[in-house]
Amino acid sequence: MAVEKQILHLLSMNTDISGKELITILESMNYTPQSIRNSLSKLKKQSYISSPKRGIYSITANGFEVYQLFNGKENFYEKKWDQRWHLVFIEIPEAIRKKRDAFRIKITQLGFGQLYKSVYIYPWDVTSKVLTIIDSLEIENYVTILSSDTFHFNSISPEGGSGSNQASKIWNLNQIEQAYIEKQQYLKQTYPCKDSLVSNEPSTLLSHYLLLTEMRNELIEIDPMLPPEFLPGSWIGTHVLHSIDSSILSLIKQMPKNSPYYRYMTCPSK
């Protein structure tokens, strides 16, 4: 799936790209030409991309919507929480189990944690994205969304607090923290000094940029980015994301603006 996300990212930055150029760019990330062609074919069948001319590809409205739904996820560490919780209740029948499973996966990717068997909760308001998923799956009659700033019983316990609804368990923060530790080690080994990379060759800069944006998106996808009161005091998520963003900005700064690869880059905040 990673190569497909990269294809959607590249196409989202430009109107049309040739298959040859896509293969050249993605080969530098160790994707094989065959895997790239297979992904192009798959994305085309899903109507996420189209081929207006032979050998030329562009992203469709559906493809851009899918790309924005997940890769456009905000860095909520930079937001102030309004103390409101957003809950999603589902009662999707067994007859459409595939849609039920797909919905659960997608809202989990948005950051929701499972409070009870059919109840999901999140401190950040991503209602518009949940509605988009509901609409795409055509499950309007089986989902209820509620927002509230009040828990009368069994509230989500802050870090160090007592209670049955521990944030660390609902979102499996230990597993997420381990992912951050692994990425932090990679960053220290690969980018000991982000302002002096081993090569300023434009194709190399783009390859590093795409790898880092892929890493960033992977972390943001698994991290609910909870408000600080629900995180361990030793939490490194904010630091690692900041390091990645700094390295991405450094790569953009080093890329010559007259390079044809510059058009594939955008700042993390966008």
Domain final residue pick, 150, 185, 205: 150
> Beta partners for 252?
none
Asked whether residue 162 is domain-assigned, the answer is no
Q: Is residue 56 part of a domain?
A: yes
User: What pLDDT shows up at residue 192?
Assistant: 59
**Are residues 139 and 92 in contact, defined by beta-carbon separation less than 8 angstroms?**
yes
Residue 136 and residue 175 in one domain: no
CATH of the domain at 95: 3.30.70.240
Identify whether 157 is part of a domain.
no
Per-residue pLDDT of the chain (270 residues; tens, 9 = 90+): 588 988 998 998 877 899 999 999 999 888 999 999 999 999 999 999 999 888 999 999 989 888 877 676 788 998 999 999 999 999 999 999 999 999 999 999 899 999 999 999 999 999 999 999 999 999 999 999 999 999 999 999 888 777 889 999 999 999 999 999 999 998 888 765 555 555 678 888 998 899 898 899 889 989 999 999 999 988 999 999 998 998 899 889 999 999 989 988 887 654
The reply to whether 248 and 190 lie within a common domain is yes
* DSSP character string of the chain: -HHHHHHHHHHHTSS-EEHHHHHHHHHTTT--HHHHHHHHHHHHHTTSEEEEETTEEEE-HHHHHHHHHHHT---GGGS---S-EEEEEE---GGGHHHHHHHHHHHHHHT-EEEETTEEEESS--HHHHHHHHHHHT-GGGEEEEEES--SSSPPBPTT--SS-BHHHHTTHHHHHHHHHHHHHHHHHH-SSTTS-S---HHHHHHHHHHHHHHHHHHHHH-----GGGS-TT--HHHHHHHHHHHHHHHHHHS-TTSTTGGG---TT-
Q: What is the pLDDT of residue 72?
A: 61
Contact by Cβ (8 Å): 255, 205: yes
Point out the domain boundary residue: 105, 122, 150: 150
Domain span including residue 115: 79-150
Question: CB atoms < 10 A from the CB of 14, how many?
Answer: 13
Domain shared by 106 and 88, yes or no: yes
Q: 263: closest CA among 220, 216, 202?
A: 202
What gap in Å lies between CA 127 and CA 255, rounded to an integer? Answer: 37
> Does a structural domain hold residue 180?
yes
Q: Which of 71, 94, 121 is the last residue of a domain?
A: 71
Q: What is the pLDDT of residue 195?
A: 52
Q: The domain spanning residue 6 has which CATH number?
A: 1.10.10.10
Q: What is the pLDDT of residue 43?
A: 95
CA distance 236 to 240: 6
- Per the structure, the count of domains in the chain is 3
